[in-house]
Structure 1
Amino acid sequence: MKKKYVFIGIILLVVFALAGCGGSGGHDGMNMDEGMMEPLKVDLTLNPEQAKVGEKVSIEVLVTQKDQKVDKADEVEIEIIKDGDSSVHEKVPAENAGDGKYVLEKTFDGAGTYKITSHVTYGPQHTMPTKSLTVSE
């Protein structure tokens, strides 16, 4: 009889443990609704695509998800690295211009080729498209 109670106790513990692992529809604190699992689409554009030293370049990032513009990305930063010169390396937040567009205006002081990478984080997703910019004298 005692074995029967021990067996029932073990079964109840297993049932309660499994019930605790079940979902109540919640999550671990991240904002992850159904749409968050759709892949992000990030379009990085440079205007102009080739620049001269001292000329202002508009770096634009258009963020969409499921054909909807994302105005509330968690983070949009622009990383700029000069090829062959690791001392020229910066990461700057882009300004939210609305309608899914994030913008950074940048003037380059030296000629060379620069790697421009947009770091976009939205919920659990992070994407980093990269383009090259040639700056001449």
Structure 2
Amino acid sequence: MRKWGIGAGTFGLLLLSACGGSDESEAENSPPSSEPIEVAIHIDEPAVTGETALIEAHVEQDGEAVEDAGEVLFEIWSEGEQEMGEQIEGEHSSDGEYMLEYTFEESGTHHVTAHVTARNMHSMPTEEIEVE
């Protein structure tokens, strides 16, 4: 009889521990949002040749900041020279902001594309900036 009580007690504990973790499992297994990610580029202006400018990409999904983007690359090139551009990885700062400090070496029109991959989605908006 004693063996039966120990076996039943062990089974009960296993059952309780399995049920106790179900809330976490459900949250982790909930389907991802089907809303697209939204990316907005912000660039310090005026940008001056030889001075550091702050370039930021703000990433949101369904109105909430995305803190877990898999990749944020800033592609920067001068007008008419996209093939000569460079890609630099941005750093996560906070509240869905990914940033890069960049020094423009030439004045004129430049383009910045933020290549963002997050939550199985990709977005690549481009902004134009005049550098003095």
TM-score range, shorter chain: 0.7 to 0.9
**Gaps (5+ residues) in structure 1?**
1-30
| Pairing 1:45-64 to 2, within 5 Å after superposition | 45-48=42-45, 50-64=46-60
Structure 2 counterpart of 1:101, from 97, 101, 104: 97
User: Cα distance, 1:41 vs. partner?
Assistant: 1.2
Check if 1:116 corresponds to 2:112. yes
Aligned CA distance change for structure 1 residues 85 and 37 (closer, same or farther; 3 Å): same
For each residue in 1:103-133, what CA deviation from the matched residue of structure 2 results, as whole angstroms up to 9, or x when unmatched? Answer: 0010111112111000010132100111011
**Gaps (5+ residues) in structure 2?**
1-27
Among all aligned residue pairs of Structure 1 and Structure 2, give the percentage whose two residues are the same amino acid: 35
Q: TM-score if structure 1 supplies the norm length?
A: 0.70
**Map of 2:20 onto structure 1:** none
Structure 2 counterpart of 1:34, from 31, 34, 37: 31
Task: Tell me how many residue pairs correspond in the alignment.
Answer: 105
Q: TM-score if structure 2 supplies the norm length?
A: 0.72
For each residue in 1:2-55, what CA deviation from the matched residue of structure 2 results, as whole angstroms up to 9, or x when unmatched? Answer: xxxxxxxxxxxxxxxxxxxxxxxxxxxxx995333211111111112x322112
Question: RMSD of the alignment, in Å?
Answer: 1.9
